[in-house]
Amino acid sequence: MSMAYSVEARVPFLDHVLWEEVMRWDPTLNRQGGREKAMEREAARGLLPAVILQRRKQGLATPHARWWRRPRWPDWAEACLTPAALAATGLFHPPAVAALRAAHREGRSHYATPLTAILTTQLWLQEEAL
């Protein structure tokens, strides 16, 4: 349910009794030795390999840079990026978007982030219009 509305939820932290208890703890306990998530790492000792417990915190990276190098996206995405669809929203200049896609696809530049922003904006506007 949370993912349907883009809400990040960690199930253990939804337990209000656990949350109320943890909120009483000293916040510095979780940054012992300058390391983040010290308590979680200690709790997982013996359950996870040391290499996992000792590594730096990592974000979740999507392979969208590689996706934008595909010759064609799924039909629903291509429909959002047609010159007519881009012109209809009035936010993006269709030839400029086509140029960004071509430059990224050919490896001349890295435009995955702005291209993803354009696509998500187009999708959002499409949903708003419904």
| 130: Cβ contacts below 8 Å, ≥ 6 apart | none
Residue 43 vs residue 93, higher pLDDT = 93
Q: How high is the pLDDT of residue 128?
A: 81
- The mean pLDDT of the chain is 87
Q: pTM, whole model, 2 decimals?
A: 0.60
Task: State the Cα torsion 73-76-80-82 to the nearest 10°.
Answer: 60
Provide the 10 A C-beta neighbour count for residue 80.
Answer: 20
Q: Which two tokens stand for residue 9?
A: 């939820």
Looking up tokens 């993912």 gives 3
Spans of all domains in the chain: 3-54, 64-129
For the cut 80, the answer to whether the pLDDT of residue 65 exceeds it is yes
> Which of 32-36, 41-45, 54-58, 85-89 holds the top average pLDDT?
85-89
Q: Say what angle helices 112-129 and 94-105 make with each other, to 10 degrees.
A: 140
- Please give the Cα distance from 54 to 9 (Å, whole number): 24
Q: How high is the pLDDT of residue 28?
A: 80
Q: How high is the pLDDT of residue 27?
A: 80
